[in-house]
Structure 1
């Protein structure tokens, strides 16, 4: 594995160095790195671009260009050595474009690597024509030349020196010339250009030391005072004459060109980055590396299904489609802001399915609607189903988060790693520490496993997205339905929690949770100052179950009531004086506990009410989840019983009353 580290192409003073392959993340020249670097500058008045690049990835370059075009700062471009191919497109962003007399600019047709049958090749050719049209529009806006003239220049792979570029309108000013050998860090003979003059092949050998001299001169002219940089550049320029330093610098530049070229070719072919690492580390020459890449593509094509049309296109278009389609569907479903600038927002589900195939270069014109939708749902890329699944999951989580549940306030959360019965440790086993006399040994405390066991169970349901639903543009199948299932998932847990209170389960000592034996069942009475105070006393005087029988001194933290008692209970908690007295008698239970009401308690009794201690201080009711994941899972598979995709909403949970000491019940009256 190569130990090269990505470099930052954007400096803190607003200078963007496009030195290398456009889109190469190892040079920090991928669109994401460049754009994030510019964003990190904050508000700046001027952005300076220094370009010395033979080109690179079209879509990465276009992303950089479009971002800069929208940026409010003034853009000043310096072509230090070469601006060829995609680098020349980026250069067009400048309000000022400076190019030395012996620097180079080149424009040509975009190209790509494709594998497939004749139809697939024609499809890719159409894509390249569209890209060319976009680039021509950028050149035309700068030069004022016609589309036809620019197309001819691109067809011919036109090379221009500084003055020629200015005369043709591709630059605004001719800068100071330097030694031609200093202009380039890239050996143009390795770039596969078809019309590069032989003279340029001989003279464009990289010399980083002289490039540093050029940059120093430009910085001095712009009155940028950085003494450290100037000292470094002076040293480099002085050493440029030394043969050993020159040979070393040129060897390093050649190696950098080889490595960048290999990584660019591997990424264009959409092959694993590990292949690039292997070729770079093995010292494989660039031309041999390209042969290896082509052979890898051929092997992949031969090993796949014979009916597959496979075209290697840049991943950017596919990623943009995924992002745009998902955003469009989320906007339609009301799960996100509707973006009026999203070109996919007006597509129906059927049209979106077709577009997902077209973006993967699958011809759909001859397909019937049902067959086309099926192809989209079963395509090896999984783009369409991926998009639907993402929207369905977000819908499910919206329902989960919006559910009006109350149990989380007063229960604790546990984690289980499997579905086996698990004993919980008694948190009330340590009411006090034992005395250690002088010189005596510390004694091990006994950890009590009270016998209460917890075991996970799985809860879930299925829903499907059929071909018919897609053709009918039925959004509800992956918005409203999963949203309600997400709400049902959290409600299922709530049902289990409140059933634990109302069902009064038998504990490990063979006694019901709320029982006189447990000293946590009060005399039937409506919520009053007296009855609440009796519950408070009962909880505080609960004793540890060990032989010490020490009082636990627990306090109520929550008052759990049916909705029918919510108003009365809140008045009791908020009143300064006893509401039942005609005299101003202080309310001794004011603020005793937080009132939590739930309608599921009404279903069992409209009079019974409960007190619960703080679940962080003592055991009460625990809700456990598999591996601590409290949100529902959404799983999918290709439908068998239905024509489409089946989804499963699943939640693994368990609810258990771990102890009775921190819980109190009054049957009410």
Structure 2
């Protein structure tokens, strides 16, 4: 976390607003007690995480005191939530390089409708003749999001201990879990534990899996095959950019093909050398989740071509619940009240057993869309 910047009473992560010294955050210009306390919480969190020596010891002592003596933990909880958001946004994901993104309004299945018909070449119309009618049909693809999450229990003793490792590492762990969940679901659109996902790559979709190894000639043939396909109206399939999705085992092979300045392959005319035209058409996406999901003997040899996101014929999509597109971090408040009156902060421990429980929630789903511009191959392992 580089900074907490106060905007309209809320804390938002931003860069470049640190004050001098070992760090710290800019206080609000006007006297708003809540915002001032939130900045104080952010400064203390920064000192605990990033300072060293005597400054770090002082910060930890102050944090323990704050957890036990005031409403400061509520504010610190807000800082944790924003640290989670910052780290979630900074962790690179793989799925965005080969799958699109959409949002849904609720948990009910959403139909992604492809309106078919009406786009074929226009019919000639004679003088005074009636225009021919055309039928419109639909192809539907279903997307459904689901709630996912985890609960992390800590103890009051863990919070009080000077090292604070469990508390400090919590936002990073939950942020990484959210990103990994997205990547796992996207990869599962391509493979299952038994191998290539035959629910999508099948003869009925015109993209049944091939069994050719990844090399220049076979990649060229796959790109050509996609370009020669037709849609339901006989129109050409246009995918200006394709993503070559491979597991780590084929990373080097893919790099040798797509990073070469010149490529060589053999066709009916013999051995041919040419400039690497594939570089402008195909980008490599190394997906480490493929061999995690695929337990088959060919897990290390499978490769895929799908349209790069942003084009009209996206093959895969990730769905998020509107208004809840990012992870949500909460703390359980079951501490009871002081005998003399007054609330007790969650971080001071549960009424029953002194535990502090954090919960992360993420709502996400994945779905197949248009198979027409896709290709898969699963050659035998050598």
Q: State the TM-score, normalizing by the size of structure 1.
A: 0.43
Deviations 1:488-544 (CA, angstroms, capped at 9, x unpaired): 1110111111111012556xxxxx311234332354222222211221122123332
Residue 323, structure 1, aligned to residue 39, structure 2: yes
Report the 3-state secondary structure (helix = DSSP H, G, I; strand = E; otherwise coil) of the residue aligned with 2:235: coil
Instruction: Point out which structure has higher relative CO (alpha carbons under 8 A, 6+ apart).
Output: 2
Mapped to 2, the partners of 1:395 and 1:319 lie a distance apart of 17
Residue 598, structure 1, aligned to residue 292, structure 2: no
Residues 487 and 436 (structure 1), Cα distance of their counterparts in 2 relative to 1, 3 Å cut: farther
Residue 416, structure 1, aligned to residue 104, structure 2: yes
Aligned to 1:451: 140
* Alignment check: 8 A CA contact 1:525 1:666 kept: yes
Aligned to 1:636: 331
Aligned to 1:577: 262
Deviations 1:533-568 (CA, angstroms, capped at 9, x unpaired): 2211221233323xx343323345211111111111
Report the 3-state secondary structure (helix = DSSP H, G, I; strand = E; otherwise coil) of the residue aligned with 2:330: strand
Residues 479 and 525 (structure 1), Cα distance of their counterparts in 2 relative to 1, 3 Å cut: same
2:164 to 466, 475, 499: 475
Residues 429 and 636 (structure 1), Cα distance of their counterparts in 2 relative to 1, 3 Å cut: farther
What are the within-5 Å matches in structure 2 for residues 196-215 of structure 1? none
* Alignment check: 8 A CA contact 1:325 1:345 kept: no
Report the 3-state secondary structure (helix = DSSP H, G, I; strand = E; otherwise coil) of the residue aligned with 1:638: coil
Aligned to 1:550: 235
Q: Residue 404 of structure 1: CA displacement?
A: 4.2
* Alignment check: 8 A CA contact 1:395 1:478 kept: no
Residues 552 and 478 (structure 1), Cα distance of their counterparts in 2 relative to 1, 3 Å cut: same
Aligned to 2:338: none
Aligned to 1:226: none
Aligned to 1:391: 79
Residue 607, structure 1, aligned to residue 318, structure 2: no
Report the 3-state secondary structure (helix = DSSP H, G, I; strand = E; otherwise coil) of the residue aligned with 1:346: helix
Mapped to 2, the partners of 1:325 and 1:588 lie a distance apart of 55
Aligned to 2:227: 540
Q: Which has the higher strand share?
A: 2
Aligned to 1:626: 321
Mapped to 2, the partners of 1:557 and 1:461 lie a distance apart of 36
- The total of aligned residue pairs comes to 323
* Alignment check: 8 A CA contact 2:264 2:271 kept: no
- Bigger Rg, structure 1 or 2: 1
Mapped to 2, the partners of 1:618 and 1:556 lie a distance apart of 11
Aligned to 2:216: 529
* Alignment check: 8 A CA contact 1:577 1:584 kept: no
Residues 315 and 594 (structure 1), Cα distance of their counterparts in 2 relative to 1, 3 Å cut: closer
Residue 566, structure 1, aligned to residue 251, structure 2: yes
Residues 574 and 417 (structure 1), Cα distance of their counterparts in 2 relative to 1, 3 Å cut: same
Residue 662, structure 1, aligned to residue 373, structure 2: yes
Q: Could you tell me which runs of 5 or more consecutive residues in structure 1 were left unpaired when the two chains were aligned.
A: 1-31, 33-62, 68-266, 268-313, 357-372, 377-381, 507-511
Mapped to 2, the partners of 1:532 and 1:390 lie a distance apart of 50
Q: Which has the higher helix share?
A: 1
What are the within-5 Å matches in structure 2 for residues 218-233 of structure 1? none
Report the 3-state secondary structure (helix = DSSP H, G, I; strand = E; otherwise coil) of the residue aligned with 1:323: helix
Deviations 1:238-291 (CA, angstroms, capped at 9, x unpaired): xxxxxxxxxxxxxxxxxxxxxxxxxxxxx9xxxxxxxxxxxxxxxxxxxxxxxx
Aligned to 1:492: 181
Q: Residue 395 of structure 1: CA displacement?
A: 3.7
Residues 417 and 474 (structure 1), Cα distance of their counterparts in 2 relative to 1, 3 Å cut: farther
Report the 3-state secondary structure (helix = DSSP H, G, I; strand = E; otherwise coil) of the residue aligned with 2:280: coil
Q: Residue 583 of structure 1: CA displacement?
A: 5.9
Q: Could you tell me which runs of 5 or more consecutive residues in structure 2 were left unpaired when the two chains were aligned.
A: 1-7, 9-26, 335-349
Deviations 1:36-88 (CA, angstroms, capped at 9, x unpaired): xxxxxxxxxxxxxxxxxxxxxxxxxxx99xx9xxxxxxxxxxxxxxxxxxxxx
Cα RMSD of the aligned pairs, angstroms, is 3.7
